[in-house]
Amino acid sequence: MDVRAAVVTEVNGPWHTETIEIDEPRAQEVKVKMAFAGMCYSDESLRNGGITHEPVVLEMLSGRDSMFPAIGGHEGSGVVESVGEGVTALAPGDHVAVSFTPSCGTCEYCVSGRSYICDLGSTILAGPMISDGTWRHRLGDQPLNRMCQVGAFSEYIVVHEASLIRLEPWWDLRAAALISCGLSTGFGSAVNRGGVRAGDTVAVIGCGGVGSGAILGALHAGARAVIAIDTDPTKVERALGAGATHGCATALDAAFTILPELTMGKNCDVVIITVNSFADDLIEQARSITAKGGVVVATSLASFGVHHVELNLMMFSMMNQELRGTVFGSENPRIQVPKLLRLHHEGKLNVDDLVTTEYALDEVELGYADLKSGKNVRGVVRF
C-alpha cells in the first residue's frame, strides 16, 4: 500500500513528505490509520544526529550503518485498520495511542511492573520490525527506519502490538497524541520518579511539552509551589497560565530572587530537568537549587557523546541529595496514558492549551522551525 509520510533521508536533511510503501501487518503486528501525531523534540534529535548510534551499533541492530532514511514521529493516536495473526488484544476500529517504548508483557522488567524499561526498548532507535526482524516500510527500494519503532508521521503505520495502547473510544484522540509521550513523561517525572508530595516545593527547568507535563504532575500531587524555569519568557508566561506559581529564566535567578523568601533558603524538594538540549552544566545548576535530601530528576535527552557533567560532589554528598534518570516518567505506558486521558476527559487535566498549532503532514519542517523559535510549545500533525 502506498502512503504519505514525513521522512528524513540524511543527517541534518530536512523533513519532507514522500510516498512510501508499507506492507500488511504480519503476526503480532497492527496497521493503524493515524489521526494525530505530536511533534516532540526527540524527533528533531534524530534528524540532527543527536541520538544517532555509532555505525557499528547500527550495523548490529539493523544490518546497515545509517539511521536513514527514517520516518519521524513517536507520539500519536489513531484507529486500528487491520491486525495480523495472533493479535488478540486489539481489533479493527479500536482507538489506540502509540507508545515510544514498547512493552512486551513478558520480560523481567514488564512482569515486575516496570514496562517503561521493557527489554524491547533496545530496538527503538533503529532496526526492522520487532516481530520477525524484517522490514515493512520502504522508500523506493530502501528499507525505512521508524522513530521508536513507530514512525507516527505517516498516514498509516504498521507496528508491533507492544507499541500500542488501547483507548476508550470517547477519549480525545488529539489529547491522546500529546499524552502518549511528552505529557506522560513529564507528569511521571514529577509524580513517579520525583515522588512529589503534598506541600513540596518543585522547580521544572524547561517548559515545553514535557516540562508542562511535569508542572501539571507536581500540581496534581499537591505541590505548594511550582517554579517554571525557561530562558524563553513566552514559555514561562504559558506555564504561569497553566498553574505554575512562580517563573524565571534560569536556576540562578530562582536561587537569588524566588527561593530565599519562598523556602527560607531551604530550596526545592524536587527539581526536574526537561529542557530540549541537555547541556553538561545543567545538573549542577539543578542541584544548587535542590534542598537537603532532595531529588534531581533528569528527564531530558542528551546526545550520546555527553559523558561528563558538572557536579559539586562535596555538596552532593553532604546535602544527601539524589540524581535520578527517567524514561517515560518511570510509569507503565498502559497505566499512565489511560489514567491521564481519563483525567482529561473529566476536565481535570488541561492538555488542550498545550497545542499551540496544528500542522498538515507536509508542514513538519515548519512545525519544528516554530518549535525552535519558541513560537510553539507543542505542535501536532492532524491527518
Which residues are near Zn ion by CB under 5 A? 40, 42, 104, 107, 110, 118, 181
Strand partners, 290: 268
Q: Which is nearer to Zn ion, 40 or 205 (CB)?
A: 40
Shortest distance (Å) from residue 159 CB to Zn ion: 15
Instruction: List, in order, residues 6 or more apart from 11 with CB less than 8 Å away.
Output: 47, 48, 49, 52, 67, 68
CB of residue 116 to Zn ion, shortest distance in Å:
10
Query: For residues 171 and 328, which CB has a smaller minimum distance to Zn ion in the complex?
Result: 328
* Closest CB to Zn ion among residues 110, 203: 110
- Taking the C-alpha atoms of residue 327 and residue 39, their distance in angstroms, rounded to an integer, is 18
- Nearest distance, CB of residue 21 and Zn ion, angstroms: 26
Q: How near is the Cβ of 40 to Zn ion at its closest, in Å?
A: 3
- Minimum Å gap between C-beta 332 and Zn ion is 10
Q: What are the backbone angles phi and psi of residue 282, rounded to the nearest 5°?
A: -75, -30
Taking the least distance from each CB to Zn ion, the nearer of 152 and 255 is 152
- Least separation, in Å, of the C-beta of 189 and Zn ion? 13
User: Under a CB-based contact definition with an 8 Å cutoff, are residues 17 and 134 in contact?
Assistant: no
Among residues 285 and 299, whose Cβ is nearest to Zn ion?
299
Task: From residue 272, give the alpha-carbon distance in Å to each of 252, 323, 326.
Answer: 15, 10, 10
Judge contact between 118 and 106, C-beta under 8 A.
no
Complex with Zn ion: residue 110 or 124, whichever CB lies closer: 110
Task: For cell 504519505, name the residue.
Answer: 4
Residue 118 or residue 227: which is nearer to Zn ion going by CB?
Answer: 118
Q: CA distances (Å), 337 to each of 251, 310, 320, in order?
A: 30, 34, 33
The one-character DSSP state at 256 is I
Q: How far is the CB of 155 from Zn ion (least distance, A)?
A: 20
Burial of 374 (0-12, 13-18, 19+ CB in 10 A): middle
Long-range contact set of residues 362-366: C-beta below 8 Å, sequence gap at least 24: 362/6, 362/17, 364/6, 364/15, 364/17, 364/39, 364/72, 364/153, 365/14, 365/15, 365/16
